[in-house]
Amino acid sequence: MAEFTLRLRRYLPESGEAAYWQDYTVELEPHRSVLEGILQVRAEQDGTVGIRCSCRAAICGSCGVRINDRAALACHTHLSAAAAGAKDGVIKVEPMGNMPVIKDLITDFEAVHWKKVRRVTPWLLPDGPPPEREYIVAHEAMVDVTQPMACIQCGACVSDCLSMEVDPEFIGPAALAKAYRFVGDPRDGQHFERLQDLAEDPHGIYDCTHCFNCIEACPKGVAPMSQIMRLRRLATADFQIDDRNNGKRHEQAFTELIEKYGTLFEAELLPRSYGGKFHPRALPELLRSLPAILKAVMRGKVTAMKALHHPKLPDQKRVREIFETVEGREQRYDLNLYISGYDDDADDDVPADAKAGDAKAEASA
């Protein structure tokens, strides 16, 4: 047995008081979970403590909370690990972020999470009459959507999403990962319509700021940001959707500048994203950006020389070689799998691309 201090964020709506912190001490084996510590507090010290839980096996996702300022499953976090990562050894537990709090550690999933999941139409929309028996789907196609299918809807990615913190209307990482599960499914007949809807929405796929928080928060390796990037690539490269958010043009401008200079020429990025410095769409955006530009000039981040001239990397040819290699492939290779879909014992029958994908996935895990 060891002694642990849990600092719980309390909120009792019936009291009419503001939220506050309350410390509790529990004695449990270090390998026990934070959830078990909270349940012991509720059973032995304070029956008013509220937390949502069910399976206690990191399957249902209902015990999602923030532990030491990071989203996690309470049942999947050992007390010893939580104490080691806490300030002064006090384990801080609070409700999920970006969602209204109902009581203590219980948040309103319906108001945010499930509302956004419904936004992406989370079911198949097949074209034509159904087959006589069942839909036959290629092995590779189903393996491709296995990663987003692993989502347990715990809301950890939603809790830690910085884009949702700034823009609560952002569809969010969980819902967009769910969207790829259907866009990547060959049985769905409305891939273009789904992608156009998400690309045209100002709070859609181009509202993600690539902060990687959702990837770090996800307990199941779904990597929601990776699914969002795949939706973008499908929308721009495969379906050529020229959206009103300038997502496609911005992506093209970004890659063109990197290919030409090796590093990002930021002074050129905005005007190129809107068609060029003298394009009618670019001028209003440049005028709106003047306050940020002036602030950057005052802080020395931007100078006249930097705005007019951007040096190329000394080994710029190597950067272009990377582009030529990638663009020279007959088929785009998207690493989206944390499993290959093949048995480990049948290595001789596994395609080389699948083995390479496994190695990369393990290296990035």
Domains of the chain: 2-107 (3.10.20.30), 110-244 (1.10.1060.10), 247-327 (no CATH)
Q: Determine the pLDDT at residue 125.
A: 95
As a whole number, mean pLDDT of residues 269-282 equals: 83
In this predicted structure, the answer to whether residue 353 has a pLDDT above a threshold of 60 is no
Q: Do 162 and 212 form a contact (C-beta atoms < 8 A)? A: no
Sign of CA dihedral 57, 58, 64, 69: positive
pTM of the model: 0.86
In the predicted structure, residue 290 carries a pLDDT above the cut 90? no
96-126 as b/e, with b when 16 or more CB fall inside 10 Å? bbbbebbbbbbbebeebbbebbebbbeeeee
Q: How many CB atoms lie within 10 A of CB 231?
A: 24
How far is residue 208's CA from residue 216's CA, in Å, rounded to a whole number? 15
> Is 50 exceeded by the pLDDT of residue 362?
no
Report for 172-176, 244-248, 324-328: range of highest mean pLDDT: 172-176
Q: Tell me the per-residue pLDDT of 66-83, one tens digit each, with 9 for 90 and over.
A: 999 999 999 999 999 999
pLDDT, tens digit, 9 for 90 and up, residues 190-213: 999 999 999 999 999 999 999 999
Q: What is the pLDDT of residue 276?
A: 80
Give the pLDDT of residue 357: 46
What the block records as the tokens of 25 is 């001490």
pLDDT at 135: 87
Per-residue pLDDT tens over the stretch 209-255 = 999 999 999 999 999 999 999 999 999 999 999 999 989 999 999 99
For the chain, give the mean pLDDT: 89
Does residue 86 contact residue 74 with C-beta atoms inside 8 Å? no
Is the predicted pLDDT of residue 349 greater than 90, yes or no?
Answer: no
Instruction: Give the C-alpha distances (Å, rounded to integers) separating 290 from 241, 271, 279, 308.
Output: 29, 13, 17, 17
